[in-house]
């Protein structure tokens, strides 16, 4: 699979995902089927092309991040903006951050430094925008009013410290973390980070797989890739918000060598009638 899109994001700490119903807002408030399953995050750059240059992007952005010290983010209330022409509304959270340089915050400086680097590599594809936490699209004004009344009436302020940001592959159904970039000088490199993707890059030639059908076993997944050199498979599932009837499956398949792995990336695979989205771990 080629032509993957990439975003850079600040993941919210996992302990806040269920505060104020954020998990349900993201999963159930997103228009369209299937709904996206993503960790709540502050989007920085969305999107830029980065097919085989993920490591290059990581090294570049790591230099930028060294000049930005960790900073606190506060999320106080639900906000929205209208898309116009009856295209609905986006519900979001506006990050409030203390200014450190004139009228700029740590998030402003990080965003500007990342933006300054992208055009040099001709990666950036979308127009600049204000970083925010997107909670999903809502189709009608009536539904918007209902959701804001239900979730906003007892809203609790959320505050957390940003110590890192993530470089993520943007797929049709989901986004997955490829690299985590720490803020500040080397002393911050020891801070543990949360990676929602269950299969780390471990030096083997493998692929990560999105959209694995529910109840697929690792043996069933491996059988699909064995003819092309697959030697080991893993699967993991997570539920979609409060809807226990729908779950999202991740997969990982290890190959004998790089040539077989790369050949597999050029092919199309399916299991139980579902097309699989695949991409290299490295």
Q: What is the mean pLDDT of residues 104-131?
A: 72
Q: What is the mean pLDDT of residues 193-207?
A: 60
The confidence band for 134, taking pLDDT boundaries of 50, 70 and 90, is confident
Which of 165, 190, 215 is the last residue in one of the domains?
Answer: 190
Would you say residue 141 has pLDDT above 80?
yes
The reply to whether 31 and 129 lie within a common domain is yes
Least confident interval from 21-35, 105-119, 159-173: 21-35
* Cα radius of gyration rounded to whole Å, the chain: 20
Q: Which residues pair with 168 in a beta bridge?
A: 7, 177
Which of 131, 157, 190 is the last residue in one of the domains?
Answer: 190
The reply to whether 38 and 178 lie within a common domain is yes
Indicate which CATH number applies to the domain containing 87.
3.90.1140.10
The reply to whether 124 and 239 lie within a common domain is no
The reply to whether 17 and 155 lie within a common domain is yes
Torsion of CA 162, 159, 176, 61, to 10 degrees: -20
Which of 128, 159, 190 is the last residue in one of the domains?
Answer: 190
Residue 277 · residue 171 · CB < 8 Å: yes
Total domains, the chain? 2
**Could you report the per-residue pLDDT of 23-76, keeping only the tens digit for each?**
777 766 555 545 566 778 888 876 655 555 667 778 888 888 888 999 999 999
Is 181 among the domain residues? yes
Q: Token pair for residue 138? A: 């809502």
Q: Is 268 helix (H, G, I), strand (E, B) or coil?
A: coil
Is 198 among the domain residues? no
Q: What is the pLDDT of residue 2?
A: 40
The reply to whether 186 and 238 lie within a common domain is no
Per the structure, the complete domain to which residue 141 belongs is given by 5-190
The DSSP result for 27-55, as a single string, is: HHSS-SSSPPB---EEEEEEEEE-SS-HH
Nearest CA to 75 out of 25, 146, 111, 124 is that of 25
The reply to whether 38 and 162 lie within a common domain is yes
Is 201 among the domain residues? no
Q: Token pair for residue 137? A: 């699209």
The reply to whether 50 and 100 lie within a common domain is yes
The reply to whether 260 and 140 lie within a common domain is no
Indicate which CATH number applies to the domain containing 216.
3.30.70.330
**Could you report the per-residue pLDDT of 209-243, keeping only the tens digit for each?**
877 888 899 999 999 999 999 999 988 877 655 55
Is 134 among the domain residues? yes
Q: What is the pLDDT of residue 30?
A: 57
Is 200 among the domain residues? no
The reply to whether 159 and 55 lie within a common domain is yes
**Could you report the per-residue pLDDT of 173-187, keeping only the tens digit for each?**
566 777 888 898 764
Is 196 among the domain residues? no
Q: What is the pLDDT of residue 139?
A: 83
The pair phi, psi for residue 201, each rounded to 5°, is -75, 115
Q: In whole angstroms, what is the distance from residue 67 CA to residue 110 CA?
A: 9
Residue 250 · residue 144 · CB < 8 Å: no
Q: Is 56 helix (H, G, I), strand (E, B) or coil?
A: helix
The reply to whether 227 and 173 lie within a common domain is no
The reply to whether 172 and 48 lie within a common domain is yes
Is 197 among the domain residues? no
The reply to whether 174 and 145 lie within a common domain is yes
């Amino acid at each position: 699979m080629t032509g993957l899109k990439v975003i850079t994001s600040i993941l919210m700490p996992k302990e806040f995902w269920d505060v104020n119903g954020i998990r349900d807002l993201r999963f159930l408030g997103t228009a369209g089927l299937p709904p996206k399953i993503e960790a709540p995050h502050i989007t920085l750059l969305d999107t830029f092309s980065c097919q085989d240059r993920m490591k290059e992007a990581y090294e570049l952005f790591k230099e930028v991040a060294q000049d930005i010290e960790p900073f606190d983010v506060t999320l106080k209330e639900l906000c929205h903006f209208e898309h116009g022409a009856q295209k609905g509304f986006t519900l979001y959270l506006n990050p409030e951050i203390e200014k450190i340089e004139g009228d700029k915050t740590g998030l402003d400086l990080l965003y500007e430094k990342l933006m300054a680097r992208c055009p040099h590599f001709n990666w950036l594809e979308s127009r600049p925008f204000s970083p925010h936490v997107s909670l999903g699209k809502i189709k009608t004004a009536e539904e918007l009013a209902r959701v804001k009344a239900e979730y906003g009436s007892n809203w609790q302020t959320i505050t957390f410290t940003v110590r890192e940001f993530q470089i993520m592959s943007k797929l049709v159904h989901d986004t997955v973390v490829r690299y985590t970039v720490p803020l500040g000088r080397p002393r911050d490199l020891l801070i543990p980070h949360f990676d929602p993707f269950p299969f780390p890059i471990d030096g083997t030639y493998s692929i990560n797989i999105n959209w694995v059908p529910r109840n697929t076993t690792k043996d069933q997944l491996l059988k699909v890739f064995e003819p092309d050199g697959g030697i080991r498979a893993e699967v993991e599932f997570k539920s979609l918000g409060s809807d226990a009837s729908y779950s999202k499956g991740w997969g990982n398949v290890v190959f004998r060598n790089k040539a077989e792995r790369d050949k597999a990336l050029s092919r199309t695979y399916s299991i139980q009638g579902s097309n699989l989205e695949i991409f290299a771990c490295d």
